[in-house]
Structure 1
Amino acid sequence: MNALAKELNELIAKDNPAVLEMLSELGKNLFMPKGIVTQSAEAKEKAHKFNATIGIALENGQPMYLQCVYDNLSKYAPKDIFPYAPSSGKPELRKRWKQKIFDENPTLSGKATSNPVVTNALTHGLNVVGDMFLDKGDYVVLPDKFWGNYRLGFSVIGGAEIATYETFTEEGGFNVQALLDKVEECGRIKGKAVAILNFPNNPSGYTPTVAEATAIADGLTAIAEKGIKVIAVTDDAYFTLFYEDTIKESIFGLLTGRSKNLLPVKLDGATKEEFVWGFRVGFITFGATESSEQKDMMAALEKKVTGLIRGTISNCPHPSQTFVLNSLDDECFKEQKQQKFELMKERALKFKEVLNTGKYLEQFEYYPFNSGYFMCLKLKNVDAEELRVHLLDNYGIGTISVNKTDLRIAFSCVEASDTEELLDGIFAGCKDLAK
């Protein structure tokens, strides 16, 4: 093992040895090399005369650029778009995003977290979690309604085992007990478990109520206190899009500082929150496992993530980080974001209104949804994949088949005025196939 990796492991163990035990073999071996990037950072501080370290070109003291490229970006200083960003991300953005996390998650008040590290959006953040905490055969606990890319990333590529539980109770609420039972079951087998908490959920569009979220956090804490190591990963891709009776913040805040055996990991980003899907700006943030700041452990975890980024994609795009930072500080940002939120909420509630008429019950009903981008229909008489293809070929309607019975619809991209026509088309398609 590299001496730098040993040093980081010692720092983690100093604050909480349980977190060191949560790491995969790769996670234990990760470090940020004192190579070009580190040496260049030192030079940036001290090389006041000549800095001949980093692999970019300069001209007249600024990054070299093509005018035809800069003409489209001339609002920005060349230094904020053309050079490499640090592997951990643009420092000003990391600081600003941490402030945003604390502003929007009141239960974090008085608690400690790491500084967010910039990832190439949420999917990359999930890959980082897999590399850092999962060895082949380790368990990832997911609801049975989960985003299909989890299987590709964690299982097909990473070799982990996916363990699922029923998402909803018969009464229609989130199945808290099923989640807790599955985490404890997997944790007893392996000594640890990674639980993915994706709210608002993709594909169902459900976020727990305050009571359900509190029960999840308390239950995971109780499991951790039994000696099972729990890595609780909040996939907050659709954060802030809470329309009805839900918790209005990330469950990350409820999990932070609860148990030495419970490590909260927050994945979020500008992708859906700020409606900038192509920017690919995400973040990974670690929560403390106790009431102290655990500065050594946090710094070590940040460096391990940074080393992993350096060794894979090197760094994330600089221009999009600058764009996100500038938008967060724009005086119109909050007002414009609220306008888009109201539009999304209108679409979700219109879907619910039309579905609640009962006119489609012969062919389908819907799973609970109250947030995010999506909702799911439960088909009664036809196969979801057959229906998906039939709708495309005969009605020009695009949907996603999740499994044999469930059809996902992104109400996020359907005008409220088109809701009934869309659902009528799906209903007609069901009747066609049911004959």
Structure 2
Amino acid sequence: MTINDRKLHLNVFLRATGHHAGSWRHPSSSPEHELDIDFLTNLATIAERGKLDSIFLADGYAGGQSKFEPFTLLSALASVTEHIGLIATVGTVYNEPFHVARQFASLDHISGGRAGWNIVTGAGSAAHNFSRNEHPEHAERYETGEEFVEVVKQLWDSWEDDALIFDKQAGKLVDPNKVYEINFKGKTYAVKGPLNIPRPPQGYPVLVQAGSSERGKELAAKTAEVIFTAQQTFDAGREFYSDVKSRLAKYGRTHDELVILPGLAPIVADTEAEARDIEEELHSLVDTKEALRSLSERFNVDLSDYPLDALVPLDQAKASEEFNGIRSRQEVVIDAARRENFTIRQLLYRSNGGHGHVTFTGSVLQTADFIEKWFKNHAADGFNVLPQLFPSGLEIFVDKVIPELQNRGLFRTEYEGRTLRDSLGLQRPENTRFRSLKV
């Protein structure tokens, strides 16, 4: 692929009201539709109308949250869409490899090859919901998570692609010489196999990773096909992009085999002034006291003790290993505050708007300029788009920003194929793992 052949890749992170902390209180949002399948179906069809690569659902296992289980929702959305990819977060800590392998294989079959797995090791503890006393430590989660993913991949490979033969005369549905026990034995898992569903249409659903720590970057270079990341400045984006892409060669991979998508939380309108008005209204709907309390978790001091227009007390920021959350996100947030010399108010507004992702407020043309700059200067292969207000933010992005990107020759005008791998330009992995074995 030459530089002129590159096309943007765009995923949209679905959320019922939007990614701004004040979105649920906005007059145009509908928090009561969070469990309304018709409302969510409409969001998915809007995204597909814009020829976006995929939609993404985050997930977790802590209580007190109102959200659908992702496999159930994405299976429903698969029935009303034809091309758009369907990516779900599934953690490795509170699941078993066999279950996850079966669920993603099922979703890939149901959707005709459009599934993607956002692999997380579990940033937030849900130990109390799974008969455990405590959440595993960071290093343990990564070690166990790598083994978990290997088991899942072996289970997907436990069927050859042509194992189903449907031979009525011979009375055989399956060729037994093409289905294998994996007999995996590792430090944490021991799994016999085979899986009880044939190999997914894509071979493997697209493997997505969201970690940006040092270990996360290395794991992404080794195994991930898409990485959702959270660089908040252009320079930080270029550094991250260059760093991760430079690691691919030692694993025998090319730059095209890993798609890097920073999060972008836009507020877009026909004019910058209109977009600023929406931004100000959203900020006014946030409980500043509560937002400061949450932001203070990243520091060793209470930020509410400081004037809002004081510079961020960077000397009081917690080191990443001290932060009880997504460690790489802590580094990204503090790094952005340092690079841009943020006041507490500016950091608060950035946090309100995109959960630690870069925010942008402007006109349609300004938004397209922003995207083009990051893409053409190798700070991104595209973006994980987090509209700060749904459904209006997604609609204007699809109906106005996408056509502008298409006019500039940066984004597709039609889908390239049927599967998510087709859209992302990723090869389908061959299955030769167990060919020399017999059940």
TM-score past 0.5 threshold:
no
TM normalised by structure 1 equals 0.28
Q: Considering only CA atoms, is the larger Rg found in Structure 1 or Structure 2?
A: 1
Q: TM-score, normalised by structure 2?
A: 0.28
Point out which structure has higher relative CO (alpha carbons under 8 A, 6+ apart).
Answer: 2
Q: Which has the higher helix share?
A: 1
